[in-house]
């Protein structure tokens, strides 16, 4: 037997200056759906998320609260883990940059870069945005030296001695990387953005800070603290260590490196697509396969922010609507890579139309007819004998391949739309064929064929949408009498193997239906936004 494909992916390691917001939930939902798709296929998956806990921003937040930074971090990470549970996120590793293992990995990596002659001491002068944890060029600042991203915050003038990383040395190597690996940065618009940035000429960047205690000391000079981004990116590597394993770069890298996919928001593209590969080149390590920069969410068309008073609380939202509805909306309606909007009325309308009406009612209606016309017994019919021009068979037979290709391309919108097209075709098929009239006319065989081909289409839809709406898929599989739990992919591989379950036309002879129940209750449009 061939060994399973390895697939390792990461979300950003989120800052713990505050409780998580909908933006972090969005990235993590997408990453979870990708991880679930790979697990469904039987791949060996490692899904890493976590938190970025050092640096001035966190130190100041803790000071304002009157607690030491570690206490603050320990408190906040609980809210991240809790949120991931609510959204049914199945991460494998939670990487904290304050984890004891991490210090050693950072020190070892720093030493490699140092030994390669890529670190030197020099004077750093410039405007520093603490919220971005980044020095800004004048052109990146707006009026009164406010940061263009954190418009309510003024960047701070710094004039200090820092250690620098020789990014400029990697200019040609980076350009070659982007040319030779067109998929390294996706989508194409972000790739162009990075190529244009690099073309302007790369400047070395400082990787240490003075007058900051909250972080790791520079191994060669205790007066300096390692820059939070240098430390945080390596959190992806520390996460690869197995429990109890001796902490070394070599051990961390031996099974899962290189990471297949770093999923990030467009705000932190430069760090992942320029600085990170250059750091890895300097340490003489292989590079990740892909960096995907997704877009930003707005609310009712407006940028979200605390100062604007229009943030979305991801916990309140999931408590009100449940994980599957939100996952479906964000994955289908926000085209991955583009900016997307959350509007509560639109959200309710989309999930009601697709999940309650098209999918839920179809299942319910079909099971109702099966009860009435076939005493709830599964028709003894071999789907392989159905003619190839049967509309649902014709669509269904290619659906698995088409949907998988869409998932592989991280095109969740297309994946959901393709599956929905089969569901809509099934609804139309019932209306066109009117099994109630055929039943009256005594055409039992035709009724049975219609109902079974629809149930098989619903089953296939549930299977293919399981990375997005695992709980709903589970309910459908149970009602149809198929084994397997989409929240337990390790079981699924045996109970519902991908090769057969991702295709239209499974044998149904051994199935026993369980009690039909509505799978998705219609959501109400909230009054305030109705």
Chain positions contacting ligand MSP, by CB under 6 A: 12-15, 23-24, 26-27, 52, 232-233, 235, 264-265, 267-268, 296-297, 304
- Where does residue 164 fall: left (phi above 0), alpha (psi -120 to 50 degrees), or beta otherwise? beta
Rounded CA-CA distance 260/258 in Å is: 6
Sheet of 44-52: strand order equals 93-96, 44-52, 6-15, 261-265, 290-294, 185-186
Minimum distance from residue 297 beta carbon to ligand MSP (Å): 4
User: Quick one: 236 exposed, middle or buried, by C-beta within 10 A (0-12, 13-18, 19+)?
Assistant: buried
Judged by CB, which is closer to ligand MSP: 19, or 381? 19
Judged by CB, which is closer to ligand MSP: 34, or 450? 34
Q: 396: which 2 tokens?
A: 């269904």
Place of tokens 């994955």: 331
Minimum distance from residue 75 beta carbon to ligand MSP (Å): 16
Judged by CB, which is closer to ligand MSP: 28, or 426? 28
Judged by CB, which is closer to ligand MSP: 277, or 396? 277
Q: Please name the residues in contact with 324: beta carbons below 8 A apart, sequence gap of 6 or more.
A: 88, 355, 468, 469, 470, 471, 472, 520
Minimum distance from residue 34 beta carbon to ligand MSP (Å): 14
Rounded CA-CA distance 8/12 in Å is: 13
**β partners of residue 263:** 292
Minimum distance from residue 27 beta carbon to ligand MSP (Å): 4
Minimum distance from residue 359 beta carbon to ligand MSP (Å): 27
Judged by CB, which is closer to ligand MSP: 205, or 504? 205
Judged by CB, which is closer to ligand MSP: 30, or 519? 30
* CB neighbours of residue 242 within 10 Å: 11
Nearest-CB residue for ligand MSP: 23
Minimum distance from residue 450 beta carbon to ligand MSP (Å): 44
Judged by CB, which is closer to ligand MSP: 82, or 115? 82
- Where does residue 12 fall: left (phi above 0), alpha (psi -120 to 50 degrees), or beta otherwise? beta
Minimum distance from residue 328 beta carbon to ligand MSP (Å): 17
Minimum distance from residue 342 beta carbon to ligand MSP (Å): 9
Cβ–Cβ < 8 Å for 289, 259: yes
Judged by CB, which is closer to ligand MSP: 235, or 470? 235
Judged by CB, which is closer to ligand MSP: 265, or 505? 265
Rounded CA-CA distance 257/46 in Å is: 11
User: Secondary structure of 25-55 in the HEC alphabet?
Assistant: HHHHHHHHHHHHHHHHCCCEEEEEEEEECCC
Judged by CB, which is closer to ligand MSP: 12, or 337? 12
Cβ–Cβ < 8 Å for 69, 26: no
**β partners of residue 6:** 44
CA 96, 100, 104, 107 dihedral sign is: positive
Minimum distance from residue 153 beta carbon to ligand MSP (Å): 13
b/e burial code for range 301-335 (CB count within 10 A of at least 16 → b): eeebeeeeeeebebbebbeebbbbbbbbbbbbbbb
Minimum distance from residue 392 beta carbon to ligand MSP (Å): 37
């Amino acid at each position: 037997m061939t060994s399973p494909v390895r697939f390792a992916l990461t979300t950003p390691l989120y800052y713990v200056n505050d409780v998580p917001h909908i933006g972090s939930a969005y990235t993590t939902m997408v990453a979870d759906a990708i991880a679930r798709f790979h697990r469904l296929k039987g791949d060996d998956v490692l899904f890493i998320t976590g938190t970025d806990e050092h640096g001035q921003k966190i130190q100041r937040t803790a000071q304002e609260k009157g607690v030491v930074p570690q206490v603050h971090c320990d408190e906040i990470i609980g809210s991240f883990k809790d949120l991931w549970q609510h959204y049914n996120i199945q991460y494998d590793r939670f990487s904290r940059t304050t984890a004891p293992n991490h210090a050693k990995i950072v020190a070892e990596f720093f030493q490699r870069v140092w030994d390669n002659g890529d670190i030197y001491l020099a004077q750093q002068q410039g405007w520093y945005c603490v919220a971005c944890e980044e020095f800004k060029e004048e052109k990146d600042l707006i009026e009164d030296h406010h940061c263009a991203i954190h418009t309510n915050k003024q960047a701070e003038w710094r004039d200090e001695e820092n250690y620098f990383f020789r990014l400029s040395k990697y200019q040609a190597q980076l350009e070659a990387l982007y040319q030779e690996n067109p998929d390294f940065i996706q989508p194409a618009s972000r790739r162009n953005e990075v190529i244009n940035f690099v073309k302007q000429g790369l400047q070395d960047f400082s990787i240490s800070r003075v007058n900051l205690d909250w972080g790791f000391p520079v191994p060669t000079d205790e007066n300096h603290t390692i820059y939070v981004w240098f430390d945080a990116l390596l959190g992806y590597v520390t996460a690869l260590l197995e429990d109890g394993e001796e902490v070394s770069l070599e051990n961390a890298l031996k099974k899962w490196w290189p990471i297949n996919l770093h999923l990030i928001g467009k705000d932190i593209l430069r760090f992942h697509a320029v600085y990170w590969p250059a750091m890895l080149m300097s340490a003489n390590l292989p590079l990740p396969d892909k960096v995907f920069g997704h877009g930003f969410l707005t609310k009712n068309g407006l940028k979200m922010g605390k100062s604007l008073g229009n943030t979305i609380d991801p916990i309140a939202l999931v408590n009100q609507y449940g994980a599957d509805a939100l996952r479906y909306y964000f994955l289908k309606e926000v085209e991955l890579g583009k900016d997307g909007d959350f509007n509560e009325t639109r959200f309710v309308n989309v999930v009601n139309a697709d999940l309650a009406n098209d999918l839920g009612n179809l299942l319910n209606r079909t099971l109702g007819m099966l009860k009435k016309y076939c005493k709830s017994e599964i028709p003894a019919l071999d789907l392989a004998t159905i003619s190839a021009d049967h509309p649902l068979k014709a669509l269904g037979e290619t659906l698995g391949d088409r949907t998988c290709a869409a998932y592989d391309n991280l095109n969740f919108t297309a994946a959901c739309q393709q599956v929905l097209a089969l569901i809509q075709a099934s609804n139309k098929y019932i209306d066109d064929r009117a099994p109630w009239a055929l039943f009256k006319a005594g055409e039992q065989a035709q009724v049975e064929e219609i109902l079974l081909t629809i149930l098989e289409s619903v089953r296939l839809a549930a299977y293919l949408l399981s990375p997005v709406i695992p709980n709903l898929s589970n309910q459908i599989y149970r009602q149809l009498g198929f084994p397997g739990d989409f929240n337990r992919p390790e079981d699924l591989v045996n109970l519902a193997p991908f090769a057969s379950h991702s295709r239209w036309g499974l044998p149904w002879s051994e199935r026993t239906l369980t009690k039909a129940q509505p799978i998705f209750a219609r959501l109400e449009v909230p009054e305030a936004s109705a």
